[in-house]
Chain A
Amino acid sequence: MNRYKPRRMQSLLLLLLLLGGAPAGAQVFVQCKGDADGDAVPDAPNPNVVCKHLTAGDGFISMADDQAKHQYMFGFNDVTGLPESAVLSEGMLAANFPAPTIDVKQGQEFYLTVTNVGMAIRPDLFDPHTVHFHGFPQAAPVFDGMPEGSIAINQFASISYYYNLVEPGTYMYHCHVEATEHMQMGMLGNLYVRPAQDDTPLGSCSGGPCTQFAYNDGDGSTGYDVDFPIQIGSFDPDFHDASETIQPLPFALMKDRYAMLNGRGYPDTVNPGDLPSPENGDLNGGKISQRVGTLITANAGQKVLLRISNLNVTRMYTLASLGIPMKVVGHNARLMRGNDGKDLYYTTSSVTLGGGESVDVILDTTGVPPGTYFLYTTNLNYLSNDNEDYGGMMTEIVIGSGA
């Protein structure tokens, strides 16, 4: 059943434009050092400045058990590079799950602009939004995005955040407005800060010394050949359906039934590309909303860094690797090293994370026979996509021969 035809969406957009849904004075306003034209790209390349422009609004994704089965959601979309005048139309109904990956580097000044494009499917809502850079050290409330102690941006206007990036590691980000609702609805994304040590040859990787590292380890012990962000998440379809159909939200009865990695259940996780727009584009005008695959590929002998974070809102999950040991080198955006320099790395076959936790895991594939391995939750009932078994929180690790 196609409840949302494109023409309905277009008429909605038209309505918003005609009725002047934006309050007087509202505006898209990008702040980015060295950027005069408002596209969130410094006009002259500057390695020490990175900018990003996200829109915050609503949208749709499709679920792994049935491409025709969609979930209404709130989320972010990346409009970096677009002129300010194009942002509202591009961002509307364009929510992504997970939110666009933020990949930045220690030593950079990071300017993040967020423009609230409103809720096209829920015009009765006038929710503001924020970005909470989860785990950012020494945070000040003005840029923490926690709305009770700071400010949140209203519809059709922009707020900018400034982060001086001095601590590398695996963080995450999410909207913090009405956190239980906006996070269950999907405003969640990967965020990591690469260390200053990158590009310094250290340690041993498959083709010689490593040049990429999880942390500033000083000895190359967190070096890797390839890296993948993996965000644990899960949805309660009853909550999303209630939101879509303007019903009271079931907070107390919330129980997630779609367990996912990077916004998809298996087997969609092993699709390395974008998923098609849900319901053939009927819902959101053909916008792509699931851009992050989780197919882990490497050649035997390579070191694979998994930047694992968890932003689900209902429970803890355990992720296990079958056949390849996991070496935990980072925890909560810190190198696992004691304050006297003692190495606290450990090797395991599983990691357990609650919402708001992260770990950095290295898979050393030296001596691993080429083939397909699995990264999956050992909360085995979540190897399912709602009522469909053999799915859920699982992906494949494909080790090639390198030939």
Chain B
Amino acid sequence: MKTKNHRLARAATIPAGLLAWSLALPAGAEIRGLGGTTFNLSAKVDRIVTGEGGSYLLWGYANGNGRAQYPGPTLIVDEGDTITINLTNRFPASGTSAGQRVSILFPGQQNVTATCTAGTCTQGALALEAHPRVGSVYSTVSYSFVASQPGTYLYRSGTRPELQVEMGLTGAIIVRPSNFNPAAQTAYGDGRSAYDRETLFFLTEMDPRIHDTVEAAGVAGLAATDYLADYFPGYWFLNGRNAPDALGAAASILYPTQPYNCVPRMHPGEKLLVRVVGAGRDQHPYHHHGNHARIIARDGRLLESAPGAGVASGVNAGPDLSHEVFTIQSVPGGTVDAIFQWTGKDLGWDIYGHAASDPMEPAEWAPDHGKAFPLILPDLANLTFGGFWSGSPFLGQSGSLPPGEGGLNPTSGYVHMWHSHTEKEITNFDIFPGGMMTFLIVEPPGQAIDEIPPIP
């Protein structure tokens, strides 16, 4: 198993909670995870932290015998490879979480085989399940399939999924096309899905009553409630974290069981591949401020009427049934791949505040070059300032701010909120803001975006 990806981010020491907003520029648009063809996962019990400072019981998948994590490790594999996932049940032998069998389902993959390679396993309704440990003997199920189609997928528990997925047993799978080239990336093998950067948006929610009840009284305690049937979530997550923690550094010691952040960053003109996974049980209208995005695939299949149909390059690149949206409708168990691009085209004023004689910036929209800013901004005394406001309407420029204002946007990028438009879901229980929310940062041209190389 390749493990080259889990380096500690350099910004791992920033304080928790709201101070995570003052991100020291954690790595940008990138997808972290595990590469390779064989993955040794465990199902374990641990805890997560929520954005307002809460802490909840987690049942999660772990890499090897490491700590459980939420979501489980993102598995990044290659089209055509035979993928083997060995799942060992490392739930505790005692306590309120004891006694769970565990398994994995792979929606969207075909011909999945499962064998019991250690201990005791039983065929459940949906999947071959590994039994809880007996003494020092742990049970392991080995699942195998050929990753036959590129795209964005998920995996999750096939054992009591109504409870175990809620408790955290879920993760993402990304299948790279067989011709994947890190220097010229595509999601599905040709120019219709070409992109410069990519970000995963793994959407989940949690009902805190369920976690508290299981922790206090075990699964049996739920029998006295209607919580599973009358699901009423109070937390919403992107890649396993609530806002503002989703903006903190990846692989931070502050979130030991939530290693993934969600901070899309890009330059004007670049193409950002947005991989949205509906991994919970609710629908979410995921609204990306800034511009439309072109939906090119659903559930790991290009939106094409025939192989190769569509436009191969340019701003309209995409399969022929692709279409543009300003809100991505994410449904439970479904995935969406979309291409987002931003240039500031046709705003009617120069986003760099250029004089007509100034040189052009890369990807600048030429017809607006040198056009004056059209309005007078209010006096500073009459304004309330966002932390990401640079003090200037121009990309890459800062301006005067009263003491203590701004400060979260040291590169003076354009910061756009990307969030669930079911606005209740941008809270952490009773606290606003939080939840299923992060920010895209369009960085000025030339501003380095620190990210790990794509896992091939």
- The residues of A with any CB-CB pair to B shorter than 8 Å are 23-27, 29, 31, 109, 111, 128, 134-135, 137-142, 144, 146-154, 157-162, 164, 166, 176-181, 183-184, 248-252, 254, 310, 313-316, 331-334, 336, 338-340, 342, 344, 352-357
Contact = CB atoms under 8 A, between A and B. Distances in A.
Contacts of A146: 289, 386, 416-417
Q: Which 10 A-B pairs have CB atoms at the shortest separation, nearest pair first? A: A354-B285, A356-B421, A164-B348, A157-B382, A149-B415, A142-B393, A313-B423, A135-B326, A128-B384, A355-B421
B289 A139 contact: yes
B426 interface: yes
Contact of A340 (B309, B349, B421, B439): B309
Nearest to A155: B382
B324 interface: yes
Contacts of A161: 375
A205 to B, nearest CB: 26
A181 B305 CA distance: 43
A14 to B, nearest CB: 23
Contacts of A147: 384, 386
B430 A159 contact: no
Nearest to B346: A166
A179 B423 contact: yes
A178 B386 CA distance: 11
A152 B380 CA distance: 10
Given A150-B386, A252-B427, A313-B423, A25 B416 contact: no
Given A151-B385, A316-B285, A338-B321, A184 B393 contact: no
Nearest to A340: B320
Contacts of B375: 31, 111, 160-162
Interface residues of B, number: 69
Given A151-B383, A354-B285, A141 B414 contact: yes
23 contacts: A26-B381, A128-B384, A135-B292, A135-B326, A135-B327, A138-B291, A139-B416, A141-B415, A144-B290, A147-B384, A149-B414, A151-B386, A153-B383, A160-B375, A180-B426, A181-B432, A183-B423, A184-B423, A331-B323, A334-B324, A334-B325, A339-B320, A357-B285
B377 A151 contact: yes
B235 to A, nearest CB: 9
Nearest to A23: B381
Contacts of B424: 180, 184, 251, 254, 313-314
Nearest to A182: B423
A142 B421 contact: no
A86 to B, nearest CB: 20
B326 A157 contact: no
B52 to A, nearest CB: 11
B370 to A, nearest CB: 15
Given A150-B389, A331-B323, A334-B325, A164 B347 contact: yes
Nearest to A147: B386
B50 to A, nearest CB: 12
Contact of B283 (A23, A109, A181, A354): A354
Nearest to A311: B421
Interface string B173-195: 00000000000000000000000
A399 to B, nearest CB: 31
A23 B380 CA distance: 12
Interface string B313-329: 00011101111111101
A148 B423 contact: no
Interface in B293-346: 294, 305, 309-311, 316-318, 320-327, 329, 342-346
B57 to A, nearest CB: 19
Contacts of B283: 316, 354
Contacts of A151: 377-378, 383-386, 389
Interface string B97-111: 000000000000000
A148 B422 contact: no
A332 B416 contact: no
B432 A178 contact: yes
A179 B434 CA distance: 11
A144 B289 CA distance: 8
Contacts of A248: 430
Contacts of B421: 313, 354-357
Interface in B387-401: 387-389, 393, 395
A332 B423 contact: no
A251 B326 contact: no
Nearest to A33: B374
Given A31-B375, A141-B389, A332-B327, A339 B383 contact: no
B147 interface: no
Given A149-B416, A151-B384, 6 more contacts: A140-B344, A153-B378, A162-B349, A339-B318, A355-B422, A357-B325
Contacts of B325: 331-332, 334, 357
Contacts of B386: 146-152
Contact of B422 (A23, A177, A315): A315
Interface in B404-450: 409, 414-417, 421-424, 426-427, 429-433, 439
Given A148-B415, A180-B423, A336 B432 contact: no
B156 to A, nearest CB: 22
B427 A339 contact: no
A174 to B, nearest CB: 9
Contact of B342 (A138, A179, A249): A138
Contacts of B427: 180, 251-252
Interface string B142-185: 00000000000000000000000000000000000000000000
B430 A251 contact: yes
B284 interface: yes
B422 A338 contact: no
B198 to A, nearest CB: 21
A147 B432 CA distance: 14
A183 B427 CA distance: 13
A164 B344 CA distance: 11
B426 A138 contact: no
B441 to A, nearest CB: 9
B224 interface: no
B358 interface: no
A314 B320 CA distance: 33
Contacts of B417: 146, 148-149, 176
B332 to A, nearest CB: 12
Nearest to A338: B320
Contact of B326 (A177, A315, A333): A333
A141 B11 CA distance: 26
A397 B387 CA distance: 47
A254 B375 CA distance: 39
Contact of B431 (A109, A128, A164, A251): A251
Which residue, of B345, B348, B424, B432, has the highest number of chain A Cβ atoms within 10 A? Answer: B424
A338 B319 CA distance: 8
Contacts of A352: 329
